Amino acid sequence: MWKELPNLPSYFLQFMKKCRYHILITNFIKVWEVSYSEDELLNCLKESNYGLEINADELIEKGTQMLSNPNDLKTLNITQNESLLNIHMIRLYSYPLHLRIRLNEGSCELFFREVTLKLLKTIKDLRCSEEELRAVLKKKEKEIGQYKSLGGKIRYTTLPPYNDVTHMEKHSVYNNNFGEMVIPNNLLEKTVNVSRKSVMEVNIDCKEVIKQEPASQGITSNEITSNMLNEIKQETIKTELQPIIPTRTKRKKMLNL
């Protein structure tokens, strides 16, 4: 979910935690990103809070809170340097906690996947919702007209009758941009290949890692066992083949008296 950064209405942040910690920031013109492993995020927090003595688990937890809830930040500064975006955020606990991160500009494909595509899906959903509500209102107005034509009276209403034409003249941005066109589903379901240079493609499948680790450990232990058996066999063969060389004893010379 994109969240507006406080005091910086033109910037939005998206934070995701899977096997890695992914941070995205956009101004709806460009997108910047960075990805951390847990150890890398921990080192980043330690470097941002030099001299602060705090448990590693607590530091990760509070750093994650900062990224998940940007509205709770006390201070936030953003500076752009060519393709880099530097962020410095501070949140107050019983002590001020700092986080300094540097994000790289993402590709056009990443911008489409994380920004444009989500906006198109939102527009499509809002458009469908609007059409359903307009249909309900027109139906209700028709029922009210029939009720009044039969002599019914409606009291205590100050709302004017719903006029669909007037409503659509007031809210005409969609029609001015797209006309009667409906955003096609094949566009909303489109997948793009983000450049391998993008850190978003560094995702590791946790399930695969968990499944592979025991297997690799089993192979390693089997290899070690077989190697040990081979070494024992070789030592046994060497011992059996080693020739027995009798030891020579010196003869005692007899003295002639």
Stretch 212-233: mean pLDDT:
49
Stretch 198-211: mean pLDDT:
48
pLDDT confidence of 241, banded at 50, 70, 90? very low
> Can you give the pLDDT at residue 181?
84
> Can you give the pLDDT at residue 162?
85
> Can you give the pLDDT at residue 231?
56
> Can you give the pLDDT at residue 226?
55
Specify which residues 33 forms β-bridges with.
24, 104
Q: How far apart are CA 64 and CA 208, in angstroms?
A: 25
Q: Is 172 helix (H, G, I), strand (E, B) or coil?
A: coil
The model's pLDDT over 103-142, given as tens digits with 9 standing for 90+, comes to 999 999 999 999 999 999 999 999 899 999 999 999 988 8
Top-confidence residue, 184 or 203: 184
Q: Looking at the chain, which runs of residues are DSSP E strands?
A: 3-5, 8-17, 21-26, 31-36, 75-81, 84-92, 96-105
**Nearest alpha carbon to residue 5 among 85, 113, 120:** 85
User: pTM of this prediction?
Assistant: 0.70
Q: How far apart are CA 195 and CA 16, in angstroms?
A: 19
> Can you give the pLDDT at residue 178?
84
> Can you give the pLDDT at residue 204?
46
Cβ atoms of 29 and 99 within 8 Å: the answer is no
The CA distances from residue 197 to 34, 117, 134, 201, in Å, are 11, 21, 46, 8
pLDDT confidence of 153, banded at 50, 70, 90? confident
Q: How far apart are CA 94 and CA 54, in angstroms?
A: 12
CATH no. for 3-106:
2.170.210.10
Domain ranges of the chain: 3-106, 109-188
> Can you give the pLDDT at residue 210?
44
How many Cβ atoms sit within 10 Å of the Cβ of residue 68? 14
